[in-house]
Amino acid sequence: MSSTVAQEHGHATAAWPPDAQYGTATPGKIGMWIFLISDAFSFGGLLIAEGILYAGHRPWRQAGEPELGILFTAALTFILVCTSLTNVLGWAAAADGKRKQAAVLLGLTAFGGALFLVGQFQEWFGIWAPGLLREGLVFGQSPRASTFYVITGYHGLHVLVGVAYILAILAGYLRGRVNERQIELLGLYWCFVDFVWVFVFSFVYLLPSLSGA
Q: Pick the stretch among 28-36, 131-139, 140-148, 153-161 that binds other proteins (CB under 8 A).
A: 28-36
- Residues 152-181 interacting with other proteins (rule: CB under 8 A): 179-181
Nearer to other proteins, 14 or 129 (CB): 14
Exactly one of 11, 99, 134, 177 binds other proteins (CB under 8 A); that residue is: 11
Nearest approach in angstroms of CB 108 to other proteins is 14
Crossing angle of helices 99-125 and 70-95, rounded to 10°: 160
Nearer to other proteins, 81 or 174 (CB): 81
Query: Can you give the three-state secondary structure of 74-107, one letter per residue?
Result: HHHHHHHHHHHHHHHHHHHHHHCCCHHHHHHHHH
134 touching other proteins, by CB under 8 A? no
How far is C-alpha 82 from the chain's CA centre? 12
Nearer to other proteins, 13 or 125 (CB): 13
Nearest approach in angstroms of CB 133 to other proteins is 24
* φ, ψ at 19 (rounded to 5°): -115, 150
40 touching other proteins, by CB under 8 A? yes
Question: Using omega within 30 degrees of 0 as the cis cutoff, is the peptide bond preceding 208 cis?
Answer: no
130 touching other proteins, by CB under 8 A? no
Exactly one of 88, 115, 117, 138 binds other proteins (CB under 8 A); that residue is: 88
- Partner residues linked to 19 by β-bridges: 23
CB-CB contact of 213 with 59 (8 Å): yes
87 touching other proteins, by CB under 8 A? yes
Containing H/E element for 194?
Answer: helix 180-200
Nearest approach in angstroms of CB 158 to other proteins is 14
Note the residues at the interface with other proteins (CB under 8 A): 6, 11-18, 21-26, 28-30, 33, 36-37, 40-41, 44-45, 47-48, 51-52, 54-55, 58, 70-71, 74, 77-78, 81-82, 84-85, 87-89, 92, 95-96, 179-181, 184-185, 187-188, 191-192, 194-195, 198-199, 201-203, 206-207, 209-211
